[in-house]
Structure 1
Amino acid sequence: MAKTQLPATMKAWVLEEFNTPYQLRDLPLPAIEDLNDLLIRVEACSYCHTDAVIAAGTVTPPTLPHIGGHEFAGTVVGLPPGKENDDDCHGYRLGDRVAVSGRGYHVCGRCRECQDPSPPLPDPPGFSVFCPLSGAGLGCHNPGGFREYAIVDARQLALIPDELTATEVAPLMCAGLTMFAAIAKCELSPGHRVGIMGCGGGLGHLGLQFASRMGLKTTGVDVAPRALQLARELETGATIIDASKETAKEVKQRMGEEDGWKLPSEMGLDVVFILPDTQKAFEYGVELVRDGGRVVVVSFPSDGFHVSAIDLVFRRIKLEGTLIGSNRAMRDMFDFCKKHGVRARKSEYPFGKLNELVQDYHAGAPGKLVLKMDMHE
């Protein structure tokens, strides 16, 4: 593909103060300064809970002013110096449609994590999305996708399958990849019972689809009417529970009757994924797990969670956290989405409506909210 003439400036949404609306600014087009980097024209950027806590300054606050957005997709429009004639950088060329996960930006390649990448589905030695020297990645510590053009590391990308649009891919770059990797790390087999607390949210409704299509007996739990409605509309075959109407004990007892277990310790989920950041949701999820089961924490409230030693010692509950997935997991996820029809339920907003999108997010809009760059007000 021939190189196109690029503008000298671009529009970008900038966070200038915490807990304030984003400001739309004219900024210089970012320049490629690293031989691993590419310039992309952003086509879609999805909004995530992490974007909300960063904008509030409560978790890993970036230096202000800051351009957020850590799950996005676009088209390669610029290669690093010296690569223009080769038309190739780490296998990517001008015109390629690429998916960008915010983690893994400028990894060192030498630290313990990079040399022995964390599971599940780890990348080859020399690269890890969890490299501690890469910081919190694009959209978190470094400028992200809430802009018309962005600098990305070619080593953190994946080609977008022809079957998927940019607005379908963007929500998968954090929410989808996090849930896909979280389920993969548990090494479950068809028939195992899993639960998803917060099943109607951005991560939750994707987790419902992944888990059910993997053949797992899936239970989704939520309390918000709009979230519950979305979860039921997915028609995944999962059991959807309104936690405001049924106790965890009642739900667990019903599972035991279905599975033929008689002792309370035998009943319940093999694994539960905790997505909400409330203590009440955490405790409900833990109670649903059978003795010896597993609790996987995905959320990160600033005050943390209170964990009962009784659950850890006498019930032998295993507790662990999870974050994002590797590049290998990203590619596997795309294959799975193509094969099984997994798609995010999303609402699309024109580029000029980011602050309206944020308001809807805080008002409890279910599914994923996506900024689409070629939509105009």
Structure 2
Amino acid sequence: MSIPPIPPIQIAAVIASSTSDTVKVGIKSNRPVPTPGKGEILVKLEFSGVCHSDLHSIRGDTPMLTDVAGHEGVGKVVKVGPEVHEKQWMGTRVGIRWLYSSCRQCEICEINHTVCPYQKNAGANVPGTFQQYIVSPALHVTRIPEQLSPDSAAPLLCAGIAMYSSIMKTKTRPGDYLAILGAGGGLGHIGDKKKKLCLSLGATEFLDYREINIVQAVKATTTFGVHAVICTANGERAYEQSMQMLRPFGTLVCVGIPNKPFRLPATPFDMIVKGLTIVGNSAGTADEMDEMLAMAVAGDVKAHVEVFGLDNINDVLDRLERSEIDGRVVLRIPQ
């Protein structure tokens, strides 16, 4: 296939040196296009999802060593570095995830490389996907099936795999009760719109915490409580409710990143007498990613997506900050 010439500079959404209430990033057209090194590929990005953790990074809530955020990028390989097989990669559509790379050599990686202490993360300590071109280790990208459109695949690289991997961690079985706190926006996918969306995607019941006591409602429906909770919300009250609605031997999976630190509302007494399990999750394995993408191809996994241009990124971030996002937002990268 014919690959267009690669320009020396590119367009990128760069974090402003001093963020205001309305301007968080600026669109720059003079960023150098990186060159792939040993074992790396150069990807021309087509779309990038926007995650709530991007907002945390841009606001300075979480550590960030780069000025380009984003970690849900989809695009095609346009150049390969040394020791990368050109015919296997050129023109291939791939995804760039939060887990940009891991050492694959330490004792932690031998168990699960997604929590490698030496990992690099796109949009955190290496430049992210809010730009036209990105270099990535070939070993860590995700091949995107041809049957999936790039805009629908983008949010699956973070929100999708985070939820799929979290469900796997609950060890729930058919017929078990699973509650998702924060459903309807972002990770979980205001009001009636979220209810309709969640029910259309297969939820058995939708509970609005603003209208009812959701812990009591869950107990009334399930008798003993749910078998597992995936908390995608980031508030202390949400985590407290998550613990309260678990049945004995229940599992809480922590996914939502708090805006401000707080202690997890779990007492040793509850943990002991109820036999509860608490785990955290941020990224799934490569095998889980492939499993989830296969489900997406089959139509069993769908993301509700709104697409905007990269130049609309500040408006998108403002809406995200106000919790006005219905599903997931994807940015179209200029071509």
Q: Are 2:169 and 2:253, in contact at CA under 8 Å, matched by a contact in 1?
A: no
* One-letter amino acid matched to 1:290: R
* One-letter amino acid matched to 1:109: R
Cα deviations across residues 238-289 of structure 1 (Å, max 9, x unaligned)? 2111122222123312222xxxxxxxxxx11000011111121112222211
Q: Are 1:104 and 1:131, in contact at CA under 8 Å, matched by a contact in 2?
A: no
Alignment match of 1:27 (pick from 26, 30, 45): 30
Q: Which moved more, 1:69-78 or 1:288-297?
A: 288-297
Secondary structure (helix, strand or coil) at the match of 1:45 reads strand
* One-letter amino acid matched to 2:208: D
Alignment partners' CA distance in 1, 2:18 and 2:185: 24
Alignment match of 2:99 (pick from 103, 115, 124): 103
Residue in 1 that maps onto 2:8: 8
The percentage of counterpart residues that share the same residue type is 24
Secondary structure (helix, strand or coil) at the match of 1:249 reads helix
Residue in 2 that maps onto 1:201: 185
Cα deviations across residues 80-119 of structure 1 (Å, max 9, x unaligned)? 1465xx524xxx42111111212042x22211122x132x
Which structure 2 residues correspond to residues 1-377 of structure 1 after superposition, within 5 A?
A: 1-17=1-17, 19-20=19-20, 21-59=24-62, 61-63=63-65, 66-81=67-82, 86-88=85-87, 92-105=88-101, 107-114=102-109, 116-118=110-112, 128-135=113-120, 137-205=121-189, 224-232=191-199, 234-247=200-213, 248-256=215-223, 267-301=224-258, 302-309=260-267, 310-364=269-323, 365-374=325-334
Alignment partners' CA distance in 1, 2:315 and 2:210: 29
Please list every run of 5 or more consecutive structure 1 residues that lacks an aligned counterpart in the other structure: 119-127, 206-222, 257-266
Q: Are 2:77 and 2:89, in contact at CA under 8 Å, matched by a contact in 1?
A: yes
Q: 1:355 to 1:237 in 2, by over 3 A?
A: closer
Q: Are 2:181 and 2:188, in contact at CA under 8 Å, matched by a contact in 1?
A: yes
TM-score (normalised: structure 2): 0.91
Cα deviations across residues 150-199 of structure 1 (Å, max 9, x unaligned)? 11111111221122111111101110001101111222221111100011
Q: Are 1:34 and 1:80, in contact at CA under 8 Å, matched by a contact in 2?
A: yes
Q: Are 2:170 and 2:252, in contact at CA under 8 Å, matched by a contact in 1?
A: no
Alignment partners' CA distance in 1, 2:226 and 2:278: 14
Q: Deviation of residue 139 (structure 1)?
A: 1.1
TM-score (normalised: structure 1): 0.81
Q: Are 1:2 and 1:94, in contact at CA under 8 Å, matched by a contact in 2?
A: no
* One-letter amino acid matched to 2:114: V
Alignment partners' CA distance in 2, 1:274 and 1:305: 15
Q: Are 2:19 and 2:25, in contact at CA under 8 Å, matched by a contact in 1?
A: no
Cα deviations across residues 322-375 of structure 1 (Å, max 9, x unaligned)? 111011111111111222432111111012211121122122222101101258
Cα deviations across residues 104-160 of structure 1 (Å, max 9, x unaligned)? 42x22211122x132xxxxxxxxx23222123x111111011011111111111221
Q: Are 2:236 and 2:264, in contact at CA under 8 Å, matched by a contact in 1?
A: yes
Q: Tell me which stretches of 4 or more aligned residues in structure 1 moved more than 6 Å.
A: none
Secondary structure (helix, strand or coil) at the match of 2:227 reads strand
Q: Deviation of residue 297 (structure 1)?
A: 0.9
Alignment partners' CA distance in 2, 1:254 and 1:2: 58
Q: Are 2:227 and 2:247, in contact at CA under 8 Å, matched by a contact in 1?
A: yes
Q: Are 1:44 and 1:372, in contact at CA under 8 Å, matched by a contact in 2?
A: yes
Alignment partners' CA distance in 2, 1:28 and 1:277: 34
Residue in 2 that maps onto 1:213: none
Q: Are 1:43 and 1:74, in contact at CA under 8 Å, matched by a contact in 2?
A: yes
Q: Are 2:181 and 2:238, in contact at CA under 8 Å, matched by a contact in 1?
A: yes
Alignment partners' CA distance in 2, 1:366 and 1:54: 21
Q: Deviation of residue 18 (structure 1)?
A: 5.9
Q: Are 1:282 and 1:305, in contact at CA under 8 Å, matched by a contact in 2?
A: no
